[in-house]
Each structure stands twice: as C-alpha cells, then as structure tokens.
Amino acid sequence: MTDTLKRTHTCGELGINATGNTVNLTGWVQRRRDHGGLIFVDLRDRSGLVQVVFSPGEYQAAFELAEGVRNEYVLALQGKVEARPEGTRNPNLATGDIEVYATRLQVLNQAKNPPFYITDGVDVDENVRLKYRYLDLRRPEMQQTLIMRHKVTMIMREFLDQRGFLEIETPMLTKSSPEGARDYLVPSRVHPGEFYALPQSPQIFKQLLMVAGMEKYFQIVRCFRDEDLRADRQPEFTQLDLEMSFAEPQDIQSMMEEMMVRIFRETKGIEVALPLQQLTYREAMERYGSDKPDTRFDLELVDISDIVADSDFKVFADVVHKGGQVKGINAKGSADMPRRQIDELTKYAAIYGAKGLAYIVLSAEGVKSPIAKFLSEAKLAEVIQRLQGETGDILFFVADKPQVVADALGHLRGELARRLDLIDSDVYKFVWVTEFPLLEFDEEEKRWVAKHHPFTAPMDEDLPLLATDPANIRAKAYDLVLNGYEIGGGSIRIHRREVQEKMFALLGLPQAESEDKFGYLLEAFEYGTPPHGGIAFGLDRIMMLLSRRDNIRDVIAFPKTQSASDVMSNAPSPVSEKQLKELSVRINILKK
C-alpha cells in the first residue's frame, strides 16, 4: 500500500494558468458520469468543484478504480491540469476552463447513498436535514454561511482588539437569578439539592470585570434561555457581549456603528451610511407600533383619536374616552383589495388582540366603508385627509388600548408590506431605538418588572420619578434594530449601591432576597465602581440577516428543533439511575 497522496491544491482554485501542472487533489465525489470508455468525476472540496477525467489505457488502474466510485466517496488523486478541448468548456463552473486528467486514484473511503443530494437549493424536509446535519453542512451554501460567520467573528475580534478590548471568559456554571427568562439548571453533585444555572448572559460578570478595572471587555459567548423557540430564537445562542468603563450611550453606539460598517463592508461589500437613524422608544411606538420597527418601508401609523373622540361612531368614541386610541394605516393603492383579503387581515390583527379592523376604501366610485355611515362628512373628510388618503387607497383602523393598537397595527404594517411587496430584500436599514422605559407593569404578577434588565441605569433627569412615577422613567438603554429585528441591545448600568437597591425595591424584591441573589454585586459596588455600560449583539440573528435566511437554524451548525431537541443525537434523553442518584435527583413527571 502506497502512502496517501498529499493534497497540493484545492479543487476550486484551479484555473487556466495551472495548465500543465501535476496536482494532487482530495475531496468528495459530487457526481460521476460514466461514458463506458471515459469517466468524468466532479470532485468537490470546501473551495469548489473541478472535473476529473479518467480514461483507459495509460492509466488503466485509476480508470478501473473510478468505475466503482459513487457519489460522496472520498478520493485522493493525482492528475495533470489541461485546458479543456474547444467546445467542452463549462462557463457555469468556476474551474470550467480546465480539467484534471487523473493518473493515480486512491479511494480513501466509500459512502452510503446519502438521503438527499448534496447540492444548493435542496428542497428536503428540514427534519431530514437536521438528522443528517453533517451531510447538510456539506452543501456549499451551508459551508459559505459558516465561513461568513467565521469572518464576522474575526472582524469583531479584530475591531475590538484594535480598540483595547480584552476577550475574557466568564463562567458557564453560574447562579440562578429571579428576574428574566427561565434558567437552564445543572444539578450539583457536590452540593446535593443545589443547582447551577447556565448563563442567560454574562451580565453580572462583565459588570464585575468593570469593577475589577479591566475597563474594556468583550466575549463571543453562548447564552441559554429556557423559553419556547421561534424562527429567530434558539435555547442556546451566541452573543457578542461587551462592556466598557467611563462610557456614555453615544460612545458605545458610535463605536458599534463603526463595527457594523466594517462587517457589512467586508462580508457583503455594502457601505452603511453613518450615523445610523435614531428613534426614541416613544417615537418608534407612535409611528411604527413597534420597538423594533422595520424602516425599509413607510406605512406609518396615524393617530385619529382626536377626530373621532366626539363622533357618533360609538366604538371609536368610547375607546378614546376610556383612555384608548384610534390609529390608522394608509395602504396606498390597495383599494381593489378583495373582501376576502380584508377578512384575512382582520383575522391577522385579531392575533394581536384587535377586536376589529375598520377600513375605508377610497375607490373611484367613491368612499366604501362599513363605518362611514357613523361619521359625519366633515369627520370622514378629516380622517381621510389626516391619513393623506387619495383615490385608490384603503385605510385600516384599530381602536383599543394603546398597547393593543400598537401591537396590532405594528404587525399589520409588516403584513401589508409583505403582501404589497414593499420590501426590497437587498436593503439593510438600521435604526437605534433609545430612551426605553426603565420599567413596565406586569399585569399577571401585579408588579413592576425591568424592561431591559434590573441593572439598567435610569436617565439622570428621570431619577426623581423613581419614587413618584415609575411608568415614566426612561432608561439609558439603546437597541440596535435591523430590518425589523432586534440585533443588539445595551445600556449604561447602575454603578451605585443605593440606586441598585432602590431598583430592586421597585421590582418588589424583598431585601433579603436581593441580598441573597445579588449581594455580591451590591458589595462590589461599594469598592469604587466606575460608571460603565455596554451592549450585546445576537450573532445568530446578525448572521441570519447577512445571509438572507428567514430562520436562525440555517446559520447554526447544529441547531435544535422547535421542541428544543437535537434530532441527530437525540438530546435531551433520559439518564441512568446511577447518574441521578449521584446528583440526588429524583424524577417526578407530572401528568398533563
């Protein structure tokens, strides 16, 4: 047995200037075309495809071996690069001007027939792809995505390194904390009956690194949240997490803008114009009905509460008098929308709590609307004018509590944009959303909860409201939104013990508990903590947008299904009695 042929070139790099060279290649068989007396094999490696020719005669041994080769066999071969004969060049292939005449062939491994063909644009059940993820990841588009992901993290590391940031690891086995998402718990063997929690984020540790005088920290770090999955949410996901001492919001924001510029320039060749748009939370909610607005299209929300407050249309008037509001969207040029579609949109708005979806059709034959008869001509005209309605438009309205109006119309806005094809998928629109409320009232728990997290600092001018008007305290918080996705969020943190204690008190945390859960942080604040702030980005979401996928699974090498399981390894799975015993854990499955 001779030694394995050592690779001298990659498949994808061979071009016309390599003509005459003897090369050694390794790779997988993309496809074999057997003409009896002549065999073509497309050899694939990470870099691309090249056509290898086996012909009988001088290199009979290689030819005979090639007769038995099948898709996905792993080959090493030696051959001579030649320009393809006139008329046989393949313009669809990067290496299509040349081919490799094989002189030696080694079959390094055989392959079972794969459950799906290894190629881009496969239309295969995702479950099958996930079960055979190692085959799915052989597909060039999946490899390109992971290559781009690698590039992005390299850019982030280089960018932050150049600015004096240190990459520092923080623990994965941490302490469970009361606020926030459900924790993944890990039982402790050494401390029977006690549990670690996997980090939802390294929040407290990075703040302690600021106390420790590290000044600038970052980490590309896995985070865990035991909540239900979505297209853009996995139970374990990756953040670019960073924190900086002596920073104001604009320091963090402008630096992150520059990082985004570099990422988009170096991965997509897109120049992002700075500075990025900024919206306050209030403005975002008023105009877009969302704190993560997709600003690639208009369809802005328009308030007509004042017009209809004293109208004869009781549904609208009552809502306004009870402190609610009535807002509308002008779907330009959609007056010909069939009734069936309007019904669908009504159903869609109902998902978000809207009890109805009123509409006014401005058709060529005049105004058509089930609500027009309740409005005087003057009011109707005023409403139409407020929404800049013209013949050919259709106006949609929702009347409810502000939160429901925003939610329903905010989502309807997106749905209309998709249906009316208003979204240019080549466009990337960033927007900072700032001045978030520090707190929001949890109706179920009947208490205030932190909108961002309990370590977020209030805006200085709102500090007096801590005691009097918690609802209207704004936070020194900022989210970066891209095309309607929250890709990052951060804040300036509380760095004084007494403010942090006030915050915990506002959240209804008994002092004993805040001492038990966060005492180490509070104590740290007493030893000279610098003002500090930071931000965390969802790397998976950024990659999803950069690679124009509509789910996060496609940019994660080994993602989990919606039921948080891994269909390849079959995790999670039961464990042995012995393991449970060591952990002092007993299983008690409650019936549904």
Q: Which stretch binds RNA (CB under 7 A): 19-27, 221-229, 394-402, 517-525?
A: 221-229
Considering the rule CB under 7 A, would residue 86 count as an interface residue with RNA?
Answer: no
Provide, rounded to whole angstroms, the least separation between the CB of residue 214 and RNA: 19
Q: What is the dihedral of CA 364, 366, 372, 375, to 10 degrees?
A: 120
Token pair in block for residue 338: 């069939």
Total number of residues binding RNA (CB under 7 A)? 71
Tokens of residue 65, six digits: 């071996």
Task: Catalogue the E-assigned strands of 273-423.
Answer: 277-280, 302-303, 325-331, 358-363, 366-368, 394-400
Retrieve residue 492's tokens. Answer: 């300036």
Nearest to 415 by CA among 548, 294, 545: 294
Q: Which of 28, 352, 397, 537 binds RNA (CB under 7 A)?
A: 352
The residue from 8, 16, 17, 38 that contacts RNA (CB under 7 A) is 38
Which residues, at least 6 apart from 328, have a Cβ–Cβ distance to it below 8 Å? 301, 302, 304, 383, 386, 387, 395, 396, 397, 398, 409
From 26, 78, 145, 203, residue interacting with RNA (rule: CB under 7 A)? 203
Query: Which window, 49-57, 273-281, 422-430, 517-525, contacts RNA (CB under 7 A)?
Result: 49-57
In the complex, minimum distance from the CB of residue 284 to RNA, in angstroms, rounded to a whole number? 15
Cβ atoms of 84 and 98 within 8 Å: the answer is yes
Q: Which of 567, 568, 580, 583 binds RNA (CB under 7 A)?
A: 567
DSSP reduced 3-state for 105: strand
222-245 as b/e, with b when 16 or more CB fall inside 10 Å? ebbbeeebeebbbbbbbbbbbbbb
Binding mask 293-312 for RNA (x = CB under 7 A): --------------------
Q: Choose the binding region for RNA from 30-38, 73-81, 316-324, 574-582 (rule: CB under 7 A).
A: 30-38
**What is the closest distance, in whole angstroms, from the C-beta atom of residue 483 to RNA in the complex?**
14
Q: How far is CA 533 from CA 223, 478, 529, in A?
A: 19, 11, 12
Does 468 contact RNA by CB under 7 A? no
Residue closer to RNA (CB basis): 84 or 282: 84
Residue 561 sits in the site that holds RNA (CB under 7 A)? yes
Residue 51, classed as helix, strand or coil, is strand
Specify the DSSP class assigned to residue 119. Answer: S
Query: Measured between alpha carbons, how far is 586 from 581 in angstroms, rounded to an integer?
Result: 8
Q: How far is CA 203 from the centre of its chain?
A: 20
Residue from 7, 22, 24, 96 touching RNA (CB under 7 A): that is 96
Q: Which of residues 312-351 bind RNA (CB under 7 A)?
A: 351
Among 24, 47, 90, 278, binds RNA (CB under 7 A): 90
* Residue numbers 379-438 binding RNA by CB under 7 A: 407, 411
| Per-residue interface string for the shown chain with RNA, residues 180-199, x marking contact by CB under 7 A | xxx-----------------
355 binds RNA (CB under 7 A): no
Contact pick of 37, 323, 366, 574 for RNA (by CB under 7 A):
37
Tokens 């699974």 sit on residue: 553
Nearer to RNA, 232 or 243 (CB): 232
Ranges of beta strands (E only) in 267-425 are 277-280, 302-303, 325-331, 358-363, 366-368, 394-400
Which range in 166-174, 275-283, 521-529, 560-568 contacts RNA by CB under 7 A? Answer: 560-568
Gap between the Cα atoms of 440 and 452, Å rounded: 10
Of 51, 305, 330, 547, the one binding RNA (CB under 7 A) is 51
Contacts to RNA from residues 107-166, by CB under 7 A: 113, 115-117, 122-128
Applying CB under 7 A, among 45, 99, 136, 294 the residue interacting with RNA is 99
CA 498 – CA 462 distance, rounded (Å): 16
Is residue 227 at the binding interface for RNA, with CB under 7 A as the rule? yes
Q: Residues 5, 21, 31, 222: which binds RNA (CB under 7 A)?
A: 31
Query: 34 vs 158, which CB is nearer to RNA?
Result: 34
